[in-house]
Structure 1
């Protein structure tokens, strides 16, 4: 059951503290709570629940979204998050409680359901609302600054010698769009063929035990030779420098053990239905079947390439992505794609958000496809980088200067990626399911935008306190 919760923003002074005192309005969590449109999010969140009066009352959207924001901002685990919320009155105010309470507001297991309910679509919509609110505040600030200025007159005159006020047309091109893409690696162990086949064999042995359990004492259990298979695996796994031929022999043995277990499972299914398996076991069985097919094909062809290669049984959606970076040549994320195909969509979203196209697009060479160049030319947009084809013998100094300037400005998005990976967890996604992983990534991007607005709010407060001559660089230093 879901009913409309209180969506009014209570003041910090109204938050009841049993030990006396009051919350400070300058606290970061209090300021962050003012930046999120809780009422609009409540309307979107309530669509995922029925209005049936039966059952328990669902947690409010402020508590669900607020808890996820705290978790990604501070890097807490599920259990540690609930502990910190229970101990901190500011965190309790942020998630919408009206008074301090010593009991945990929810069980840590509910965070998984929060991530499933608040999918990436809702989080991205909240992110868009926050960006629109920031743009509206900037526009209102500009209007306030220009309110006392006298109206400007153009230098044009009509036939009678009278001046005509200049009619300002809305701009068609303004600002710059910086585009780039990055990989958010999943938290998986580095996969090897031998390790994957050994894990598959162990999971199949558990499935064999489950299917044979109802017929224990009545039917002879299949001989899966798990002890011998374990010894064969450890003989190579504990070798510090095994040769290629030794690794290939070990992989071949594990492939035969997996094939043997799969045949035994087919025989046991005739006596025990697959419904006796748990959901996780049934899912693992399907994944292992595809994993065995891929590994057998690579073993037969003597290569390490196959389409949609599975590198984790627990997370079968994770794929190896060749990045060519100095730190790691291969990273493990979700399906890779050519980010150059997203340029047109990004430009159209820019025009939808601001009402005009950008003057220039700052991107790397992968975006400079013929389709993108033609699109930018038709819309009067400059795409950074050299022209396609053979480079000219004599380079234009102005062109080289512009390219260096574009590269310097484009470093901003690289720095933002680094901030998200070092501080907010984009460098390692610990969620298991693909849906929850996408939600975690969307929340981390939301936190990045909230932090930027919080910094701008801090600068405005300092400007009001110290005047227009205040230099923020002195405080940062």
Structure 2
């Protein structure tokens, strides 16, 4: 079952934070959030879900945002959840209403998402993000002849952030997807063919070694006994 909230209603000013905590609008995750086409990404994600059956799903922005965070930071599922739980900027990025100390989902959710979505949905993500970047470029005013000082503007940084997001969602996902590698070669698992350095009582070499050690002990004890007989016992 699908639960969805229009992402255009989200803003940094509406994000609840503890007293004394103020989020920086220039933070990379805030800028990246502003340029992401969340509604288009949600449409692709919800194609894999039923609108009427099953338990209510997590909001699409939470799921998609977590996937982007995971591959942008190149961390495990467990570390992704911990990073989100500790970082208010990441919680804003995935669309939470305010900062919370509790993890918004379990790491196993990311495993289920990868199995459900497949490469086709990630390709649609890629296309939607690239389209959003191109639209930003088309709306960007010409700054080449404005006479200002050279440097990266906020618009430049926003476009860079969108480009950076497009790579983790697609290229890196294909390398970490749940495709099972093909088996190659042959591995023999048989304890009877493994070399074992175990000797048995019937081993003549073991019996001879025991005889030699016994004679050596007798020789040592005989020298210390000072017995009159000349012949050592055997």
* TM tier relative to shorter chain: 0.5 to 0.7
- Counting only pairs closer than 5 Å after superposition, residues 50-449 of structure 1 correspond to structure 2 as 50-52=50-52, 55-141=54-140, 193=185, 196-198=186-188, 201=189, 229-233=190-194
| Cα RMSD after superposing both structures | 3.2
Q: Paired residue for 1:31?
A: 31
After superposition, the C-alpha distances for 1:364-422 in whole angstroms (9 at most, x for unaligned) are: xxxxxxxxxxxxxxxxxxxxxxxxxxxxxxxxxxxxxxxxxxxxxxxxxxxxxxxxxxx
The answer to whether the 8 Å contact 1:89/1:100 transfers is: yes
The answer to whether the 8 Å contact 1:66/1:95 transfers is: yes
Greater relative contact order structure (CA < 8 Å, 6+ sep): 2
User: Any unmatched runs of 5+ in structure 1?
Assistant: 147-182, 202-228, 236-477
Q: CA separation in 1, counterparts of 2:93 and 2:176?
A: 30
Cα 1:98–1:105 shift into 2, 3 Å: same
The answer to whether the 8 Å contact 2:44/2:125 transfers is: no
Q: Paired residue for 1:41?
A: 41
Q: Shift of the alpha carbon at 1:40? A: 1.3
Cα 1:18–1:142 shift into 2, 3 Å: closer
Q: Paired residue for 1:417?
A: none
- 3-state SS in 1 of match to 2:112: helix
- 3-state SS in 2 of match to 1:8: helix
Q: CA separation in 1, counterparts of 2:31 and 2:81?
A: 21
The answer to whether the 8 Å contact 1:12/1:22 transfers is: no
The answer to whether the 8 Å contact 2:41/2:128 transfers is: no
Q: Shift of the alpha carbon at 1:29? A: 0.8
- 3-state SS in 1 of match to 2:187: helix
Q: Paired residue for 2:213?
A: none
Cα 1:129–1:234 shift into 2, 3 Å: farther
Q: Paired residue for 2:16?
A: 16
Q: Shift of the alpha carbon at 1:19? A: 3.9
Q: Shift of the alpha carbon at 1:12? A: 2.0
| Number of equivalenced pairs | 166
Q: CA separation in 2, counterparts of 1:139 and 1:68?
A: 28
Cα 1:46–1:34 shift into 2, 3 Å: same
After superposition, the C-alpha distances for 1:158-178 in whole angstroms (9 at most, x for unaligned) are: xxxxxxxxxxxxxxxxxxxxx
Q: CA separation in 1, counterparts of 2:91 and 2:37?
A: 18
Cα 1:55–1:140 shift into 2, 3 Å: closer
The answer to whether the 8 Å contact 2:2/2:57 transfers is: yes
Cα 1:94–1:184 shift into 2, 3 Å: closer
Q: CA separation in 2, counterparts of 1:39 and 1:192?
A: 43
